[in-house]
Amino acid sequence: MESNAVTKALSAQLMRGRLDVTVDASQIDPGSLFGFAERRNPKRAFLFVSKVLGRHVPVRPSIMNASFHSLAAQIPEDLPGPVLVIGMAETAVGLGAGVHRAFSATRPDTVYMVSTRHPTGNELFARFEEEHSHASAHLIHLPVDPDVREMMLNARSLVLVDDEASTGKTFINLHRALVDAGLTQVERVVTCVLTDWSGDAVRKTIGDSAHQVSLLQGSYTFHEDAEAPLPEMPAVDTIEPGEWPLTAESDWGRHGIRVVEDTLALDLDLNLNVKAGERVLVIGTSEFVWRPFLLAERLERAGADVHFSSTSRSPIALGHAIGHVLSFADNYGLGIPNFLYNVSPGQFDRVLICSETPVQAVSASLIESLNAEVIVDGQ
């Protein structure tokens, strides 16, 4: 990445072309907020890699929490309720939960849900597409709890959370799908991202009822090399239940929640015997990241040197912001590859892999390569 401090111009030469970025405004130094990478995806070549998200780069929980609060503080206070907050799978389900936690501390009429690629067998409310994605289909389940369902169906405001907005089209697709499915009382829409490159596209499409919130605003141009070969993308675009199907039990967002309790490995901080300088990595798996984050946050408060990251089905090439990659089978029995980025064997003293599927579903090669312990939700 090259930077020009005067014009706030950034650029990256990728295998399939050059990406030029102009930063118009940013709450923190752009270089501390994101980096560049190249997708193994013929539909879109580039990727903005967040350095505060805890997905592709290990991040301290306190830094992640600061971004939650910075975004939530920008959400308009006068939104009519109930307010439905939706985090986008898979990358932003934890970011959405964090924004919801911070925002819900200011008012009692909020519900959090996630879009998902993991059907649970319960009734679906809507489906929408993220055309450029490696996994384009998103599902929205109907809440099981009657009170949560009533709040969701009567939502008058939407807060839609993702890690970044390139064109705003995914938000526009989600808004349309929700309204078409029955959310006819929506009066206000807020999009909430770490980096916004969309040029106010959501407001231009939806109208003045829409408001865009971010930590950084800017624009980009991708100069594609027409002669560069297209990558072969791994087959990760599936929404099947898998060998280890999920249910609505112990939900953290797929069926709508008001609050998520910190219940994962509650005795771990007592057994950790935290030593000064001990390096601990907590890893979430796929969409299961919020309870693992709460664990990481608890261990950080206890005095450990904690970082948080997560596995992903997103195929990204080595280079630029991606310095290391581990590839292994997914833990839902879908038969698709998963990846862990910027985590090397031996980098941390203790590695905790957190899963909503049984221990035997977690890749043995991943456990062995990181000398990791597996923590299963509900056990």
Across the range 170-178, mean pLDDT stands at: 93
Residues 335-376: pLDDT tens digits? 999 999 999 999 999 999 999 999 999 999 999 999 999 999
| Mean per-residue pLDDT over the chain, rounded | 92
319 lies in some domain:
yes
- pLDDT score recorded for residue 272: 65
Measure the CA–CA gap between 190 and 202, rounded to whole angstroms. 9
Helix residue ranges per DSSP H, 105-246: 146-153, 169-181, 201-206
Question: What pLDDT band is residue 234 in, cutting at 50, 70 and 90?
Answer: confident
pLDDT digits (tens, 9 = 90+) for 312-323: 999 999 999 999
Task: Give the structural domain span for 341.
Answer: 268-376
If you ran DSSP here, which 8-state letter would residue 57 be given? Answer: S
| 286 assigned to some structural domain | yes
**pLDDT, average across residues 186-207:** 95
Residue 297 domain-assigned?
yes
Q: At what angle do helices 290-302 and 93-104 cross, to 10 degrees?
A: 70
What angle, rounded to 10 degrees, do the helices at 290-302 and 61-72 form? 120
Residue 248: what pLDDT?
A: 63
Average pLDDT over residues 198-208: 93
- Residues with Cβ within 8 Å of residue 92, at least 6 apart in sequence: 53, 161, 162, 163
* In-domain check, residue 259: no
Note whether residue 124 is domain-resident.
no
Residue 130: its pLDDT value, please?
Answer: 65
The total of structural domains in the chain comes to: 1
Phi and psi based region of residue 332 (left: phi greater than 0; alpha: psi -120 to 50; beta: remaining) = alpha
Instruction: Report the distance separating Cα 372 and Cα 368, nearest Å.
Output: 7
Q: What is the pLDDT of residue 131?
A: 53
Q: Is 128 a member of any domain?
A: no
For the domain that residue 349 is a member of, what is the CATH number?
3.40.50
pLDDT surpassing 60 at residue 243: yes
> What are 69-124's pLDDT values in tens digits?
999 999 999 999 999 999 999 999 999 999 999 999 999 999 999 999 988 888 99
Query: Nearest to residue 126, comparing CAs of 178, 48, 187, 184?
Result: 178
Mean pLDDT of 12-34: 95
Whether 62 maps to a domain, the answer reads: no
The predicted pLDDT at position 136 comes to: 66
> Residue 128 pLDDT more than 90?
no
Task: Say what the pLDDT of residue 195 is.
Answer: 97
Cβ atoms within 10 A of the Cβ of 105, count?
Answer: 11
CA pair distance 32, 50, nearest whole angstrom: 9
- pLDDT tens digits, 139-158: 999 999 999 999 999 999 99
**Quick check: helix, strand or coil at residue 155?**
coil
Of 194, 192, 181, 115, the C-alpha closest to 158 is 192
Q: Is residue 180 part of a domain?
A: no
Q: Mind spelling out the 3-state secondary structure of 243-293? A: CCCCCCCCCCCCCCECCCCCCCCCCHHHHHCCCCCCEEEEEEECCECHHHH
At residue 70, φ and ψ (nearest 5 deg) are -65, -40
Q: Per mean pLDDT, which range of 80-84, 212-216, 268-272 is the poorest?
A: 268-272
